[in-house]
């Protein structure tokens, strides 16, 4: 159908008559019940909604007093089609609103489909006010009565609508009308970000044939279902609740975000379908098999991405020539050992998968590899601080490195993704494994022996993750404390033994000094001070250079108090006259300084968020004792893209991390990462709010249970 036509040019009476005549609608525009369903090919009959059959004479125009149109029920009047209209719905999270350029029908609709949609909405608004959902992602199928039944979730929308069972009457047809088929078969346009990949489709509409290894996906482009809490669907995690369809215009244009569908599911495997096991398998067991299979397929995607990191970046002679051998080692560390461990893990999983259609269990494999083969992850994660620093240094000061890296990242194999997204893959994978294993635990609760084995595997993997986190922290903190020990000059102040295995930096930075205290009177330069806040002591210094600081005073953190001030407070020097020049002041009291005296310092930050971060850091000890009791009542966010901490009080986050928000200030969030309890600041733009109370409570329950069961 051509989109050049416009429905505004059609005569209203003729349009109404032709709809009544061809579709056999009653006077109210509704299908006449009890009539046989006729399959009509709109593809073979252009504008069939407006042109009568050639074999029949055109009926005379009806009189205004008496209209008796001949009713016909098309397949588009099936119960599911009436709910869906003539448009294919997609998950709200995969699209963003865009202003329609014209008032013509949407590009993916035929002209007749667009007019049918508008006419149906005009005559029966309830059809377009139903809640938004996709049959592709519902655990339902159509039966012969027109109702919906469960357990055919993993078919596409077209397949789910295709076989509604035997016809209820002799003349009924059960085949889907071509109008809906045309919508389902329309392929998504490839993104320019992936110039070499043209096989993308929305949802699960790709035809899966053969092995899941036939079309490997990058690990960065998938999200495992097992990362979600139990309140969400076990098989379909891509859809988010959306508003009623009636609140949107039928011809609103949407822009599909760059997205690749999830991997082939276990229920879609040819060997599973051919075995007929799905007919006898319980719902719980099918979900357990899906959880097992997802660990296998996600490991394959992860291994595929690691191979690209090695072949395209690590083994690139051009890239190696732009850096020293030490820098090359810091950048890639022991990634070959990590890849080898992943290869062995995948081979063990695949061997178990090939041996049985329904895999008995993989908990023994998970536990064995976590305990005996995954140690390269600890070394790789421990090197993270050097890796990030080296990459930043090369990117900022090495033009040749930048140029070569940019050319490599443009290669089709890299999928348009930056090298950093490949470098952080081991950290992402090792932190996701506990959640995937926990999902396996949830699916085996009805089987005591399997549940015990899965719980042991979960503890082993959680212990590994803890070792990875501790390794990364230890390496960073040790190097940091040794560096600062050389940079801090205590001068005439009583020396403080800085190096300690139990000491680490919480925050550092330069602040405006509002009032000269006794410890600063000998300094006649710019009224600033530089603070180093450790987990047990606050050191007040004067910055001499980028690598040298003169210590003015210090105090144990137990003897430090902080108070937020308002610019108009009379306690500030100059009173209200200083309010414009001192927008974010706060006061620090040293109750017992290096000389045993009490000292007061008035400081000011350059932003509200910086002041909030300083006050939060200075009250570290208090917050440590208080803890958080009402976690279920606090807001939560899900991280949408990875964030790397740039300061000591910030937190590094992986995509899909769930964070409990403790504080919000000026575009920054202070939160607790639920998977391990680590806290820190991060930009609000890197996450989106979780608005469902069920999801919030489910996240808290899951993470609390994980911490209790793993005991690590």
Mean per-residue pLDDT, 438-457: 92
Maximum average pLDDT range among 4-18, 41-55, 83-97, 476-490: 476-490
CB-based contact 188:200 (threshold 8 Å): yes
- Sheet containing 636-639: give its strands across: 679-683, 668-673, 658-665, 636-639, 687-689
Strand, coil or helix: 152: coil
pLDDT, residue 479, reads: 87
CB-based contact 218:101 (threshold 8 Å): no
- H helix runs in 333-383, sequence order: 335-355, 363-372, 375-382
Strand, coil or helix: 34: coil
Strand, coil or helix: 315: coil
Environment class of residue 414 by beta-carbon count within 10 Å: exposed (0-12), middle (13-18) or buried (19+)? buried
Rounded Cα–Cα distance for residues 465 and 287 (Å): 26
> Considering only CA atoms, which of 62, 75, 85 is closest in space to residue 36?
75
Q: Which two tokens stand for residue 119?
A: 């006419």
Residue 192 pLDDT > 70 = no
Residue 157 pLDDT > 90 = no
Which region among 125-139, 322-336, 566-580 has the lowest average model confidence (pLDDT)? 125-139
Q: Kind and range of the H or E element at 282?
A: none
List Cβ<8 Å contacts ≥24 apart for 471-474: 471/378, 471/379, 471/381, 471/382, 472/381, 472/382, 472/384, 472/385, 473/504, 474/382
Rounded Cα–Cα distance for residues 29 and 15 (Å): 12
pLDDT, residue 26, reads: 64
DSSP bridge pairs for 280: none
CA distances (Å), origin 364, targets 289, 293, 433, 449, 710:
16, 15, 14, 12, 16
List Cβ<8 Å contacts ≥24 apart for 377-380: 377/338, 377/341, 377/426, 377/430, 377/464, 377/468, 378/464, 378/467, 378/468, 378/471, 379/333, 379/334, 379/337, 379/471, 380/333, 380/334, 380/335, 380/337, 380/338, 380/426, 380/427
pLDDT, residue 511, reads: 95
Q: Kind and range of the H or E element at 287?
A: helix 283-308
pLDDT, residue 203, reads: 36
Q: Kind and range of the H or E element at 455?
A: helix 448-487
Q: Which two tokens stand for residue 370?
A: 């976590």
Q: Which domains does the chain have, with CATH numbers?
A: 266-478 (1.20.900.10), 490-518+526-567+583-621 (2.30.29.30), 630-710 (2.30.30.40)
Residue 61 pLDDT > 60 = no
- 211: which residues sit within 8 A by CB, 6+ positions away? none
Residue 73 pLDDT > 90 = no
CA distances (Å), origin 562, targets 405, 503, 519, 591:
46, 21, 18, 11
Tokens 């085949």 belong to: 175
- 657: which residues sit within 8 A by CB, 6+ positions away? 638, 639, 673, 674, 675
Q: Is 42 left (phi over 0), alpha (psi -120 to 50) or beta?
A: alpha
The number of angstroms, rounded, from the C-alpha of 175 to the middle of its chain's C-alpha atoms is: 38
Tally of residues, the chain: 712
Residue 148 pLDDT > 90 = no
Between 77 and 491, the more confident residue is 491
CB-based contact 86:113 (threshold 8 Å): yes
Which region among 82-91, 216-225, 267-276 has the lowest average model confidence (pLDDT)? 82-91
Rounded Cα–Cα distance for residues 591 and 559 (Å): 5
Strands (E), 447-570: 488-489, 505-513, 528-534, 537-545, 548-556, 560-564
How many other CB atoms sit within 10 Å of the CB of residue 259? 18
Mean per-residue pLDDT, 328-343: 97
The values of phi and psi at residue 327, to 5°, are -65, -40
- Sheet containing 537-545: give its strands across: 488-489, 548-556, 537-545, 528-534, 505-513, 599-605, 584-590, 560-564
Whole-angstrom Cα Rg for the chain: 32
Instruction: Characterize 91-102 residue by residue with b for buried, 16 or more Cβ atoms within 10 angstroms of its Cβ, and e for exposed.
Output: beebbeeeeeee
Rounded Cα–Cα distance for residues 414 and 308 (Å): 7
Q: Kind and range of the H or E element at 669?
A: strand 668-673
Could you tell me whether strands 254-256 and 488-489 are parallel, antiparallel, or unpaired per DSSP bridges?
A: unpaired
Residue 561 pLDDT > 70 = yes
- 652: which residues sit within 8 A by CB, 6+ positions away? 642, 643, 644, 645, 680
pLDDT, residue 656, reads: 85
The confidence band for 552, taking pLDDT boundaries of 50, 70 and 90, is very high
pLDDT in tens, 604-642: 999 999 999 999 999 988 877 666 667 878 999 999 988
How many other CB atoms sit within 10 Å of the CB of residue 354? 10
Q: Which two tokens stand for residue 321?
A: 């020539």
pLDDT, residue 317, reads: 96
Helices 283-308 and 335-355, axial angle in degrees (round to 10)? 150
Mean of pLDDT over the chain: 74
CB-based contact 97:196 (threshold 8 Å): no
Rounded Cα–Cα distance for residues 390 and 384 (Å): 10
Rounded Cα–Cα distance for residues 699 and 711 (Å): 18
pLDDT, residue 632, reads: 79
CA distances (Å), origin 295, targets 84, 206, 338, 659:
34, 21, 17, 24
Rounded Cα–Cα distance for residues 339 and 309 (Å): 10
pLDDT, residue 568, reads: 73
Q: Which two tokens stand for residue 455?
A: 């719980």
Maximum average pLDDT range among 363-372, 463-472, 639-648: 363-372
Residue 140 pLDDT > 90 = no
How many other CB atoms sit within 10 Å of the CB of residue 544? 13
SS (H, E, C) 178-238: HHHHHHHHCCCCCCCCCCCCCCCCCCCCCCCCCCCCCCCCCHHHCCCHHHCCCCCCCCCCC
Rounded Cα–Cα distance for residues 154 and 207 (Å): 12
pLDDT, residue 703, reads: 82
| Residue 478 CB-half CA count within 13 A | 10
Rounded Cα–Cα distance for residues 13 and 15 (Å): 5
The confidence band for 14, taking pLDDT boundaries of 50, 70 and 90, is low
The angle at the Cα of 280, spanning 276 to 284, to the nearest 5 degrees, equals 120
Q: Which two tokens stand for residue 352?
A: 């178990």
Task: Give me the percent of the chain exceeding a pLDDT of 70.
Answer: 61
How many other CB atoms sit within 10 Å of the CB of residue 580? 8
Residue 381 pLDDT > 80 = yes
Mean per-residue pLDDT, 584-596: 93
Rounded Cα–Cα distance for residues 127 and 246 (Å): 8
The confidence band for 525, taking pLDDT boundaries of 50, 70 and 90, is low
Mean per-residue pLDDT, 392-402: 95
The values of phi and psi at residue 167, to 5°, are -65, 145
């Amino acid at each position: 159908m051509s989109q050049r036509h416009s429905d505004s040019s059609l005569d209203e009476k003729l349009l109404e008559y032709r709809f009544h005549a061809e579709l056999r609608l009653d006077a109210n525009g509704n299908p006449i019940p009890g009539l046989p369903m006729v399959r009509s090919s709109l593809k073979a009959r252009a504008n069939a909604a407006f042109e009568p059959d050639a074999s029949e004479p055109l009926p005379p125009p009806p009189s205004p007093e008496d209209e008796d149109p001949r009713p016909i029920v098309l397949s588009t009047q099936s119960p599911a089609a009436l709910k869906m209209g003539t448009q294919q719905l997609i998950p709200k999270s995969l699209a963003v609103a865009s202003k329609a350029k014209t008032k013509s029908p949407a590009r993916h609709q035929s002209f007749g489909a667009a007019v049918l949609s508008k006419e149906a909405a005009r005559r029966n608004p309830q059809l377009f006010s139903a809640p938004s959902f996709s049959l592709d992602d519902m655990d339902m199928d159509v039966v012969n009565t027109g109702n919906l039944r469960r357990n055919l979730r993993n078919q596409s929308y077209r397949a789910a609508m295709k076989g509604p069972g035997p016809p209820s009457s002799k003349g009924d047809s059960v085949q889907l009308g071509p109008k809906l088929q045309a919508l389902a078969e329309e392929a998504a346009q490839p993104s320019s970000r992936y110039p070499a990949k043209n096989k993308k489709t929305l949802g699960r509409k790709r035809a899966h044939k053969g092995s899941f290894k036939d079309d490997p996906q990058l690990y960065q482009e998938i999200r495992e279902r097992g990362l979600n809490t139990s309140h969400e669907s076990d098989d379909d995690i891509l859809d988010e609740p959306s508003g009623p369809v009636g609140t949107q215009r039928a011809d609103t244009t949407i822009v599909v975000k760059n997205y690749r569908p999830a991997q082939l599911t276990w229920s879609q495997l040819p060997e599973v379908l051919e075995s007929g096991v799905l007919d006898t398998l319980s719902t719980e067991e099918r979900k357990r098999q899906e959880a097992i299979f997802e660990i296998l397929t996600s490991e394959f995607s992860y291994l595929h991405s690691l191979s690209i990191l090695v072949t395209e970046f690590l083994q690139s002679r051009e890239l190696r020539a732009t850096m020293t051998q030490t820098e090359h080692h810091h950048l890639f560390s022991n990634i070959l050992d990590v890849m080898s461990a992943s290869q062995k893990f995948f081979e063990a999983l695949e061997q178990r998968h090939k041996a049985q259609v329904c895999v008995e269990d993989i908990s023994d494999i998970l536990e064995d590899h976590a305990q005996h083969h995954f140690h390269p992850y600890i070394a790789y994660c421990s090197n993270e601080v050097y890796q990030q620093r080296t990459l930043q240094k090369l990117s900022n000061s090495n033009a040749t490195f930048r140029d070569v890296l940019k050319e490599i990242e443009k290669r089709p194999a890299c999928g348009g993704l930056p090298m950093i997204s490949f470098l952080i893959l081991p950290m992402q994978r090792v932190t996701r494994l506990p959640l995937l294993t926990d999902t396996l635990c949830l699916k085996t609760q009805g089987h005591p022996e399997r549940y015990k084995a899965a719980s042991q595997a979960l503890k082993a993997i959680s212990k590994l993750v803890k070792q990875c986190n501790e390794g990364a922290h230890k390496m960073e903190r040790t190097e940091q404390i040794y560096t600062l020990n050389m940079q801090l000059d205590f001068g005439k102040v009583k020396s403080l033994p800085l190096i300690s295995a139990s000491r680490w930096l919480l925050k550092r930075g330069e602040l405006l000094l509002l009032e000269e205290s006794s410890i600063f009177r000998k300094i006649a330069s710019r009224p600033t001070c530089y603070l180093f806040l450790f987990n047990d002591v606050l050191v007040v210094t004067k910055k001499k250079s980028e690598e040298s600081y003169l210590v003015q005073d210090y105090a144990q953190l137990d003897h430090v108090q902080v108070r937020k001030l308002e610019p108009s407070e009379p306690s500030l020097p100059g009173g209200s006259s200083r309010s414009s020049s001192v927008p974010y002041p706060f006061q620090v009291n040293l109750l017992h300084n290096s000389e045993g005296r009490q000292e007061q310092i008035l400081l000011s930050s350059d932003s509200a968020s910086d002041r909030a971060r300083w006050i939060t850091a200075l009250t570290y000890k208090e917050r440590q004792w208080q803890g958080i009791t009402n976690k279920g009542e606090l807001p939560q966010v899900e991280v949408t893209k990875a964030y790397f901490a740039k300061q000591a009080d910030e937190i590094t986050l992986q995509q899909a991390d769930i964070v409990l928000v403790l504080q919000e200030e000026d575009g920054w969030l202070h939160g607790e990462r639920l998977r391990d309890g680590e806290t820190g600041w991060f930009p609000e733009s890197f996450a989106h709010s979780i608005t469902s109370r069920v999801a919030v409570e489910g996240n808290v329950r899951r993470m609390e249970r994980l911490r209790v069961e793993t005991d690590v």
